[in-house]
């Protein structure tokens, strides 16, 4: 990912909604060395910030409603959450939550794109987003996994102003050409019950070692360590509560 700080339209934060926050804290601490601190305010609802050293890199929270499947959500930075949410719904998306304020930190909304993939908008105020990207243990790539290529290629540039480096196999998303993610079409290798979704990739120093740690801590490998055309090595992991995420070789280790 070429972006190194939150910029309008770019990914700025990742958040895990999980059925067991204490267990998730233990798993991700073992995997990435995250130090987790839960907001003590009652209104915060158990929201837990994950740190790498002093840098805020992700969040964990309880699922918002009974029966909700644990999942990671990617947030994209915007200057005006209300205006972008209206633009998204006009372009075929659906509004699930908000827009609403989060204390003095900012304003957010949760939406789906036309295929049903969930994402969030974040209008930062006191909190702009992650303090660090691309280093081992931090967000390094975001991937839309979908059945519907052309609607996505129309929707996100219209709503968030993304550039697209198009290819027949793997279009890449960017801000002014600075790529931060891609679009993966689902094929017969995906179970039929997997919905369209955004998949965050966490940079790591060694994919194989991290994948082995994930398994030893109770996670599963949805895709084993694999070399891809760019020369990077990646894997996809499911944590013990069922949330999926990717890992890939950190840029300074590639």
Find how far residue 114's CA is from the centre of its chain: 18
CA distance 95 to 112: 7
The pLDDT of residue 252: 53
- Output the pTM of the full model: 0.94
Quote the tokens at residue 17: 């909604």
The pLDDT of residue 167: 78
Closest by CA position to 185, among listed 151, 135, 231, 149? 149
The pLDDT of residue 248: 94
Residue that has been written with the tokens 């890449």 in this structure: 172
Closest by CA position to 34, among listed 16, 52, 54? 52
**pLDDT of 254 higher than 50:** no
Q: How far is CA 124 from CA 17, 224, 236, in A?
A: 20, 36, 30
Q: Which residue has the higher pLDDT, 218 or 98?
A: 218
Q: Which residues, 6+ apart, have CB-to-CB distance to 245 below 8 Å?
A: 72, 199, 200, 201, 202, 236, 237, 239
The pLDDT of residue 68: 86
Q: What is the mean pLDDT of the chain?
A: 93
Helix locations, the chain, DSSP H: 21-32, 81-90, 149-160, 207-216
Q: Which residues, 6+ apart, have CB-to-CB distance to 222 below 8 Å?
A: 236, 237, 238, 244
pLDDT-above-90 percentage for the chain? 80
The pLDDT of residue 251: 52
CA distance 156 to 49: 28
Q: What is the mean pLDDT of residues 124-140?
A: 96
Q: Are 124 and 77 in contact (CB under 8 A)?
A: yes
Domains and CATH numbers, the chain: 11-124 (3.10.180.10), 139-253 (3.10.180.10)
């Amino acid at each position: 990912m070429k972006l190194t700080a939150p910029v309008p339209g770019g990914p700025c934060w990742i958040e895990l909604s999980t059925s067991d926050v204490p267990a998730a804290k233990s798993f991700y601490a073992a995997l990435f060395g995250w130090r987790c601190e839960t907001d003590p305010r009652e209104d915060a609802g158990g929201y837990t910030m994950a740190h790498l050293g002093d840098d805020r890199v992700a969040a964990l929270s309880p699922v918002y409603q009974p029966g909700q499947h644990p999942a990671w959500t990617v947030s994209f930075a915007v200057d005006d959450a209300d205006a972008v949410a209206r633009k998204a719904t006009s372009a075929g998306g659906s509004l699930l939550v908000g827009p609403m304020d989060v204390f003095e930190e900012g304003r957010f909304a949760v939406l789906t794109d036309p295929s049903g993939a969930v994402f969030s908008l974040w209008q930062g105020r006191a909190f702009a987003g992650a303090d660090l990207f691309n280093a081992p243990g931090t967000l390094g790539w975001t991937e839309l996994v979908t059945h519907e290529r052309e609607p996505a290629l129309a929707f996100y540039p219209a709503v968030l102003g993304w550039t697209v480096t198009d290819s027949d196999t793997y279009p890449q998303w960017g801000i002014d050409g600075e790529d931060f993610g891609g679009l993966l079409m689902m094929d017969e290798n995906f179970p039929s019950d997997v919905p369209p979704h955004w998949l965050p990739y966490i940079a790591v120093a060694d994919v194989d070692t991290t994948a082995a740690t994930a398994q030893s801590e109770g996670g599963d490998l949805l895709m084993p360590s694999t070399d891809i055309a760019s020369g990077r090595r990646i894997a996809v992991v499911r944590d013990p509560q069922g949330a999926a995420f990717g890992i890939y070789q950190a840029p300074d280790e590639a």
